Structure 1
Amino acid sequence: MGAKKRILWVDYAKCVGIIAVVTGHAINNVSGKSLDVAYNAIYWWHMPLFFMMGGFFLKQISPTSEGWAYLLGHRIKPLIKAYFLNGVILIILSHFFRQQSWDYTLLYFARLIYGGSTLNNYLSVFWYMTTYAIAIFLTTLLISYVKKAWLQFAVAIAIFFLGIQLQDMTFFGNESFPWDAQIALLAVFWMLLGYHVFKLFTKISWKYKVIYAVFGLSFFVFLIYLYAEGELDFVLWLKSSTIHTGLQAFFIPPLLCLVVFIGSEMIERAGGFLPLKFIGQNTDIIMFYHRAAFDITTLSAFMDHWYFRIIIGLAAPILLAWVIQWFKNNHFWHRIRIQD
């Protein structure tokens, strides 16, 4: 059987999302009102976008050993393996590149196990992987054991607002929950929404999509204006569980994500763009390694600026992804795999 055909607009949407992730991290803690506005505007939608796309290809499972083997072995296990494998690699890289003590490094291995908002520097985005895995697990169970869509949403909305309430609570005295598990409660709603939106997306007339995109983009610009003028207090920092307010977090991210999906389909209809496709197909590597790549900019005072961090944060992991793909496609690599 041939490889399953990829849906290009999904790759383009992932590309837009990962560029937003890198940009948000690059401009973090950089002074300036315009960058502060841009930072918060990015955070209104970029991580919900990935959670929504996580719901696109979810499958119901049967209440059998085969169903549970698919969920735990095929969906959850690879995420956890990637989390710990890349986490260990980056902790070791951080130890030598940042000249950290072994006491700090050993403690970081322990923090990797607890995860969530305890992770910083190279691993600051790793909260997403564990939260994503928990949300995949919960949302799969929801669509498998609750058959009616309206009831699925009733459950998802209830646990969404439970997650909102948990942002001000501690976990046995700790400020953060292990694996940022409370954020997974919000992610279940976005993931379920993505699961159902994906089924309907191709059935919607392109004319209506364009109309929505125009109004949705105008709405985004209006929100940015309100925030810049101090008339909107909307913050969605998921890792630190800082959310103002629950209703805004419920309505605004899905509305903006839909604009990204339509814009991505527009790119596909325009003929596509190969580099964007490649970036969209390798978002995991960029997500894992862009923070480490930022340190390259500190080697020279000339490059130690946020715009160079964006360039390096994208270019270095993309080069790594290209090298990995080249080895996978190389006949020598195939011969090694055959011998093994």
Structure 2
Amino acid sequence: MGAKKRIMWVDYAKCFGIIAVVFGHAINGVAGKALDVTYNALYWWHMPLFFMMGGFFLKKITPDLAGWSYLLTKKVRPLLKAYFLNGVILIFLSHFFRQQSWDYTFLYFVRLFYGGSTLNNYLSVFWYLTTYALSIFLTTLLISYVKKVFWQFVLAIGGFFGGILLQDVHFLGNDSFPWDAQISLLAVFWMLLGYYFFKILPKIKWNYHLLLGALGTALLIGLICLYATGHLDFVLWLKSANIHAGWQAFLFPPIICLAIFVACELVERLGGFVPLRFIGQNTDVIMFYHRAAFDITTLLAVTDNWYFRLLIGLAAPIFLAWIMQWVKNTTLWHKLPISS
């Protein structure tokens, strides 16, 4: 059987999401009111967007060995493999590029196993991968073993606010849970929403899509205005479990994400844009390597600023993704045993 046809608007949503991630990291710590507002506004939706999309293609499993094997080997194992493989590569890259001691590097390997908010520098975004894997696992069990949709959402919402409460709880004396496990409780709710939204979306008339997009856009603009004028304290920093406040995190991100999805559908209807699709199809490479690419900008004083970080943080991993795709398409690669 051939490969499944990709859905273009989903690739566009991934593209906008990863650009927002890189943009947020590029301006982190840069002084300025406008950048502070932009930074927080990006964090209101870009990671929930990826968790919601994670629910799009989930499948129920059968309560037998075959079902569990599918979940663990096809859904969870590839994520953990990517986590450790790319983590090791980046730790060594950081060691040599940043001239770190071997003691520091050894301890970073230890931190790689604990994960979560203990990861910084090149691996600061890797908390997402383990949280995503846990969320895939839990959400799949939820839709497979809890038959009533009502009870699925009751459990997911209960878990969501349980995760909010756990943000101030220490784990065995540590400030964070291993793999940021408590954040997966929030992500399960967003993933479950994505699972059902993706099923319902094709049944909704396009005019109502536009209405949902307009409402989500109006909400985002309103929240930005309120935050900029000091009338809103909405913070959603998932990695550090810094969330103000629970009901805002529950209501606002899904509505904003709906607006992003509708905007991406509109781009598809207008004919699409190939570069955006390529970025959306290679978000994993950009996610893994954009923080390392930031260090390229420190080689010259003139490039050591946020807009060059944004440019290089996108361009370098995109070029790496293009090289990887070119290599995979060569005749030699297909002759190697690893490609089969």
Place the TM-score, normalised by the shorter chain, in its bin.
Answer: over 0.9
Secondary structure class of the residue paired with 2:161: helix
Q: Deviations over 1:194-233 (max 9, x none)?
A: 0000001111111111122122212111100000000000
* Structure 1 unaligned spans of 5+: none
Q: How many residues were matched structurally?
A: 340
5+ residue gaps, structure 2: none
- Alignment correspondent of 1:234: 234
Match of 2:104 in 1: 104
How far did 1:302 drift?
1.0
Which residue is 2:15 aligned to?
15
SS at match of 1:153: helix
In 2: Cα distance, 1:291 partner to 1:319 partner:
15
The 1-side partners of 2:339 and 2:285 are apart by 27
Partner of 2:57: 57
Distance 1:180 1:199 in 2: 29
Between 328-337 and 108-117, report the one with greater CA deviation: 328-337
2:27 paired with 1:27: yes
Q: Which residue of 1 aligns with 2:159?
A: 159
Q: Which residue of 2 aligns with 1:255?
A: 255
| Aligned mates of 1:319, 1:297 — CA distance in 2 | 16
1:68 corresponding residue in structure 2:
68
Quote the residue 1:194 is aligned against: 194
Aligned to 1:291: 291
Deviations 1:112-171 (A, max 9, x none): 000000000000000000000000000000000001111100000001000000001000
Deviation at 1:337, TM superposition (A): 3.3
Aligned residue identity for 2:298: T
**Alignment correspondent of 1:148:** 148
Per the normalisation by structure 1, the TM-score is 0.99
Cα separation, 2, equivalents of 1:68 and 1:208:
38
- For the pair 1:312 / 2:312, whether they are aligned, the reply is yes
Q: Output the CA distance in 1 between the equivalents of 2:213 and 2:172.
A: 45
Letter in structure 1 aligned against 2:327: F
Matched with 1:176 is 176
1:266 correspondence with 2:266: yes
SS of match in other structure, 2:336: helix
**Structure 1 144/108 Cα, relative in aligned 2: closer, same or farther at 3 Å?**
same
Number of the residue aligned with 2:334 = 334
| Corresponding letter in the other structure for 2:270 | A
Letter in 1 for 2:199: K
Amino acid at match of 1:119: L
The residue aligned with 2:40 is: 40
Q: Deviations over 1:269-319 (max 9, x none)?
A: 000000000000000000000000000000111111101111110110000
1:339 positional shift? 9.6
Cα 1:339/1:138, change in 2 over 3 Å: closer
What's the CA shift for 1:338? 7.9
State the match for 2:115 in structure 1.
115
CA shift for structure 1 position 257: 0.3
Measured on the aligned residues, the alpha-carbon RMSD in Å equals 1.0
Indicate how the Cα distance of structure 1 residues 34 and 145 shifts in structure 2: closer, same or farther if over 3 A, else same.
same
Give the secondary structure class of the aligned counterpart of 1:202: helix
Give the 3-state SS of the residue equivalent to 1:240 in structure 2: coil
Superposition misfits of 4+ residues, deviation over 3 angstroms: 337-340
| Structure-to-structure mapping, 1:200-215, within 5 angstroms | 200-215=200-215
Distance in structure 2 (CA, Å) of the matches to 1:193 and 1:336: 41
Q: Indicate the SS of the match to 1:113.
A: helix
Aligned to 2:244: 244
Looking at structure 2, the residues matched to 155 and 67 of structure 1 have their Cα atoms a distance apart, in angstroms, of 22
Q: C-alpha displacement at 1:25, in angstroms? A: 0.2
